[in-house]
Amino acid sequence: MDKPVHKALGKYSSINNALENPLISIITPTFNCKSKLERTVQSVLSQSYTNFEFLLIDGKSQDGTQEWLAEISDPRVKYISEADDGVYDAMNKGIRHVQGKYLYFLGAGDELLPDALLEISNYLNKEIFSIIYGNVLWGNGEIYDGEYFKLKLCLRNICHQAIFYKRNVFEILGVFDLKYKLYADWVLNIRCFGNSDLKTCYAPITVAMYEAGGISEEGDPNFQLDKKFLIKQNFGEEIFRIFEEIDNTIKDKDKISSDYNNISNKIKSIKWSLYNLFENLLVRLMRKIRH
C-alpha cells in the first residue's frame, strides 16, 4: 500500500513558519527505472539540510520500484504508484500532494550534489523571490548554464533540476501544461520570467548532476509550433523581434552549413571516384608493363 500523502495545495506544515529553515518539497517522477532511482534517492537522503519531504510519483512500474520504495523507512519519503499521463502529469500530481514552501523537481537518474540544499537555503530565505535557480552539472563535466534573462530563455531552457519554485508560482500560473509533452517546464519558465509579480534570483550554485539523454532532448512539436506566440505573449514585441532575428540567423547558418556539407560530401564522392579510376588505370598499366 502506498504511504499516505497530503492532499491540499496551499496548506503546508507548520514547520514552514521557520523562515530561516523552509520546508523543501522534492518531487521525482519515475517509471521502470529502479536501478537509476536508487542513486537519486541516496543523493537526497544524504543531504546535510534535513528539512525536506521527498515524494516519488511512480507510474505503476513493473521492475520492482514499488517494492523497493516500500522498504524505505525514512519518514520524509513518501510515494504514489498509479498510472499517469507522462512526466508532467506525474509532476502535477506531486504539486497537489506536497506541503513545502518551495518545490523542486528531480528526475530519476539525476543526483543532488552534496550540501546542495544547504547552500540553496541561504537564497530561499529571501521572501521577495519566487523562482530561485542555479546550475546543473552535465555528465560530460560541463556546468549549465549561468544567469538567465528573457532573451536567453528564448533560446534555451533552465534545467528543472536547477530550479526551486515558491508555491505561489503554481497558485498564480497553474501547473504544468500537459499540451507540451516534453517542454512544459520551458513554457512555465517563460511565463514565470514574463510575470511581473514573480521575481527571479540566480544563485551561483551547482545544484544537481543532470543525466543527459532524457526525453526532453527528443523535441516537442507543440512547443515548436507555439514558441513564437509564447515569447511574444509573455516577453513583448521588442524581445520577440530580437529573438526572431537571432532565430532566422541561426536557421540561415544551419542551411549554409547543410549546403556546405552536401557539397563537401559530393566533392569527396567525386574524389573517391577519381581515385578509384586512377587506381584501376594504374593496375592495368602495371599489368601491361609486366607482360
pLDDT of residue 265: 54
Residue ranges of domains in the chain: 14-223, 236-291
pTM, two decimal places: 0.81
Q: Is the pLDDT of residue 2 over 90?
A: no
Average per-residue pLDDT for the chain: 85
Q: What topology is assigned to 14-223 in CATH?
A: Spore Coat Polysaccharide Biosynthesis Protein SpsA; Chain A (3.90.550)
CA 100-1-105 angle, 5° bins: 30
> Could you tell me the pLDDT band of residue 169, with boundaries at 50, 70 and 90?
very high
pLDDT of residue 15: 43
Residue 50's closest CA among 14, 13, 73, 76? Answer: 76
pLDDT tens, 96-155?
Answer: 999 999 999 999 999 999 999 999 999 998 889 999 999 999 988 899 999 999 999 999
Q: Is the pLDDT of residue 90 over 60?
A: yes
pLDDT of residue 16: 45
- Of all residues in the chain, what percent carry a pLDDT higher than 70? 77
Count of CA atoms in the C-beta half-sphere (13 A) of 287: 6
Listed as own residue / partner, the contacts of 11-18 with beta carbons closer than 8 Å and 24 or more positions apart are 11/99, 12/98, 12/99, 12/100, 12/101, 12/167, 13/99, 13/100, 15/51, 16/99, 16/100, 16/101, 18/51
pLDDT tens, 190-214?
Answer: 999 999 999 999 999 999 999 865 5
Specify the pairing of strand 52-58 against strand 77-81: parallel
Q: Is the pLDDT of residue 279 over 60?
A: no
Beta bridge partners of residue 112, listed in sequence order: 208
pLDDT of residue 1: 42
pLDDT tens, 264-274?
Answer: 455 455 545 55
pLDDT of residue 83: 92
Q: What is the mean pLDDT of residues 70-78?
A: 95
> Could you tell me the pLDDT band of residue 251, with boundaries at 50, 70 and 90?
confident
Q: Is the pLDDT of residue 282 over 80?
A: no
Grid cell for residue 7: 492532499
Residues 144 and 210 sit within 8 Å (Cβ to Cβ) = yes
Q: Is the pLDDT of residue 221 over 90?
A: yes
Report the alpha-carbon distance of residue 68 to residue 64 in Å, rounded: 6
pLDDT of residue 161: 96
- Of all residues in the chain, what percent carry a pLDDT higher than 90? 70
